[in-house]
Amino acid sequence: MFQPHSVHPAASFEVSWPRRPGERRARRASLLPAAAALMFMAGCASLPPASHSPAATDSIADRWHAPLPPGGQWEDLRRWWSTFDDPTLLSLIDAAQTVSPTIAQAGAAIADARAQWVAHGAALQPSLDVNARSGRGRVDLDDPTGTVSSIGLMASWELDLFGGNRAGQRGAQARLTASRANWHAARVAVAAEVAMSYSRLRACEALLLQVQQDEQSRAQTSRLTALAADAGLESRVTADLASASAAQGTTVRIQQQARCDLWIKALVALSARDERDLRRAFVERTALLPGPAAIQIAAVPAQVLVQRPDIQAAEQEVVAASAGVAQADAQRLPRVSLTGSIGIQQLGMGGVRTDGRVWQIGPVAVTMPLFDGGRGRANAEAARVRHQAATTIYAGTLREAIQEVEGALVELQSATERRAAAQAAADGFSRSFLALQSRYQAGMASLLELEDARRSKVSAQRDLIGTDEQQVLAWITLYRALGGGWDADAMQRISAVSRASQQIKPVE
């Protein structure tokens, strides 16, 4: 086997002009040492092990601990946004994904990763250059001035005996796959952000509608109380209290309007749409929260993991880091390169021109690092640390994915269970307020009783709208936690579905 720190002699072969037969035999004989060295090193070369994607450090649960929503279809996730039946929302998502700097940056990362992959693939192939030159001069004072011109092809090739270049190509391929997954993750994140902002705007509009109705009711009560006070049927203190309540209603309405305006401006920033156009588009479905369709969740968490592009990206980073270890180790072993050229040369001197073919094989260069101040060892150790870090990050991504899905399921279940109670409370307090309002107008109830009933009604209506909003947001969060309809098959996943439910062994 090849011993470290031994250096093989380089061999160089060149032919310019026809030689005698004996010289050709000598040149062929000179090929033998270099050929023997190459065959010896190739026989001793050992390729680095193939880079495998990891399994998980922690055992992935075989079932969900949060209740799953009923109904829905697994395949509907990719078409989920269309179930909202809200063209304004769909147009906002399309516009935001077109102008999103996050998606643009992810697209640029794909281009960079593709360029690196092409570069690493090119390192496995010979390179070919064309060379043309011409010069004029003399060798001796007694010789006439001559001109030498040549044109030819030059080829070079580094033999990948120890698999360093192949490991680099595997790592580049993994990073390209990871960058594509990150691009999909960015699209899902932007769509979810737009949908959440849009849902919050619609909930804000619903609250604004309730606040406007409450403001009108307070103003009417203040007007009637003032008339009663002028007629001596109510005290001035009661009239002042009613007037203050009306002013408070106006303040609340102005504050709520400002919140809605802020959400509109947030959507303008996300979509780069003209604000006036957006406001006109929002009028059609004012105060109507979008209604997403139910999503069916697979009973096995491992089936969910394959839908998440961030897990695919983290997995591929482990593959790339593993290839980086093999590449760093190969850099500490001998490197063999071969060069050659072929061309035409013309010599002109004293009016006489001579043409000929020129070719050269060699030199065959064998380079072995003997002393680099520990740089190679440090690079190899750093590559192993990066691999261990990538494995830890991958395991953390798996745990985070499960936590996000579980959390979204809990929020969804909570909002669903609260919805019926919130509706009953809102209906009951509304009926109570209307009854007290009639009694107050008939002089059978005090203004304090009326205002107390009003506060209860407004609070219950806010809770109902907030519950509807939380339910929609929980669905959107669940959509994002499930990967947003990302198609793993289209990305040519390396690992099988069951791999995510296995255990990852830490790097020793």
- Ordered by start, the domain boundaries in the chain are 1-43+127-159+336-367, 45-124+161-333+379-501
Topology of domain 45-124+161-333+379-501, per CATH?
Outer membrane efflux proteins (OEP) (1.20.1600)
Q: What tens digit of pLDDT does each residue of 127-181 get? A: 777 878 777 766 665 666 777 777 877 878 788 788 888 989 899 999 999 999 9
Handedness of CA 460, 465, 468, 470 (dihedral sign): negative
pTM: 0.74
Q: What tens digit of pLDDT does each residue of 475-505 get? A: 899 888 888 865 444 334 323 322 332 333 3
Q: Which of 297, 301, 296 is nearest to 71 (CA)?
A: 296
**H helix count then E strand count, the chain:** 10, 5
Maximum mean pLDDT: which of 276-280, 400-404, 405-409, 476-480 = 276-280
- The answer to whether 375 and 35 have CB atoms below 8 angstroms apart is no
Q: Is residue 258 predicted with pLDDT exceeding 90? A: yes
How far apart CA 249 and CA 448 sit, in angstroms, is 16
Give the pLDDT of residue 95. 93
Average pLDDT, stretch 431-458? 87
Higher pLDDT, 25 or 193: 193
Write the single-letter amino acid at 57.
T
Q: What tens digit of pLDDT does each residue of 287-317 get? A: 788 877 776 665 446 666 677 889 989 999 9
φ and ψ at residue 12, rounded to 5 degrees:
-135, 135
Q: Sheet with 11-15: list strands edge to edge.
A: 11-15, 352-367, 335-349, 146-159, 127-137
How far apart CA 103 and CA 193 sit, in angstroms, is 13
